[in-house]
Amino acid sequence: MQRYSSYSLNITHPTICHSSPVFPSFTHTVTTHSIPLHLHPPTHLLLQHHTHTLTIHTSFLPPARLITAVGKPVFHRHTNNNYGSWMRDTNNETDPHYWTTDPNHNDILKEFANKNDFRNNGRSITYQLPTPFEGNSHVIFNGSFYYHVKGHPNITRLDLHTRKTTTMELPGMVYSDDRFLYNNSRDYVDLSADTEGLWAIYSTLYPNNTVVVKMNNMTLKIEKGWDMALNNNLYGNFFMAYGVLYVLDSATDRDTRIRIAFDLYKGEMEDVDLPFNNPFSYTTLLGYNYKAKMLFSWDKGNLLTYPVRESGMDTGPPGSDYEDHGRSSS
């Protein structure tokens, strides 16, 4: 039974050949296949490096941990801005700190010592950034703040302890002319971190293309890259979890779904169909904190979390409230 006969997704699969326009320092070309969502593309993976290219068959890769349910949103705080970010360290579940950014003050990162100060916009530490940021899909990971530098195709890492910075350019990235990543965002790049490390999702000058790269979280060197024929402007938001790219249908429909989940390492579409609720119908930030097992969102100035159930979990986080969620069946 075809659950998604009316949907199709173009995925580009790298093959060993000549230089790519998106990754000029990597040796590969791309071959595009149009596949229904219920089918899997060819099961091979290309790991790309600056000095060599290595093909690995995915039969040797362990299965990805999948998100199988998304719970009801939980309210934490309200602001008067439709755009902004709020973060916790995705690599430190016990760290009590919260961080926020405001696009009206794009050279400032604020740090709150605890949840009470954060919710009441109380006492905070202010970090003066060496360069202004663009957008709001930043990430805090392992004691560092990662952000897109305004007016440049660059990502900067700010070590919050030493205040030292590292900057790296993303190849082929669009970073101007209001060509934003999603249909309801002000982002040119979407940063996230999970058990695999640091990820960047961005669009290119080539029509309908989405690039996903995995970066070393210390040096920002690109370790792997995927150039996918996926039109990010048609969707509400993307997020990464355990090497799987999840796609939210709409950021403005109150009731929507997550129906695309693509395992980047295996090159396979996973079978998901997850209801998702935008209670204020204007979600401009969505990211997964794998330590907390929660999605963090910014919905019309309302800062929300969504408890998440993963494959292999009997229950979700404490206080989880799930509706009719789960993996789709054929």
- Report phi then psi at 206, rounded to 5: -85, 130
pLDDT, mean of residues 73-82:
96
pLDDT(47) > 50: no
Overall size of the chain counted in residues: 330
Give me the percent of the chain exceeding a pLDDT of 70: 75
Nearest residue to 272 via CA among 73, 64, 72, 10: 64
- Residue, of 322 and 47, whose pLDDT is higher: 322
Structure-token pair, residue 264: 């980047």
pLDDT, mean of residues 109-113:
97
The CATH topology of domain 64-310 is Lipocalin (2.40.128)
| Most confidently modeled range among 175-184, 229-238, 281-290 | 281-290
Kindly tell me the sign of the dihedral angle through the C-alpha atoms of 114, 116, 119, 122: negative
Cα–Cα distance measured from residue 84 to residue 101, given in angstroms and rounded to the nearest whole number = 6
pLDDT given for residue 314 in this prediction: 58
Give me the percent of the chain exceeding a pLDDT of 90: 65
Nearest residue to 144 via CA among 84, 191, 187: 191
Contacts of 67 (CB under 8 A, 6+ apart): 241, 244, 246, 258, 261, 272, 274, 288, 308, 309, 310, 311
pLDDT(189) > 50: yes
Residue owning tokens 């360069």 = 131
- Report phi then psi at 275, rounded to 5: -60, 145
Q: 202-251: per-residue pLDDT in tens?
A: 998 876 789 999 999 999 999 999 998 889 999 999 999 999 999 999 99
Q: What's the maximum distance between 2 C-alpha atoms anywhere in the chain? A: 56
Contacts of 76 (CB under 8 A, 6+ apart): 86, 118, 119, 303, 304, 305
Helices (H), the chain: 115-119
Q: 5-45: per-residue pLDDT in tens?
A: 222 333 333 322 223 455 544 333 232 333 232 222 322 33
pTM metric for this prediction: 0.80
Distances (CA, A) of 17 to 2, 48, 91, 191, 274: 35, 12, 37, 29, 38
Name the band, by pLDDT with cuts 50, 70 and 90, for residue 302: very high
Task: State the chain's mean pLDDT as an integer.
Answer: 80
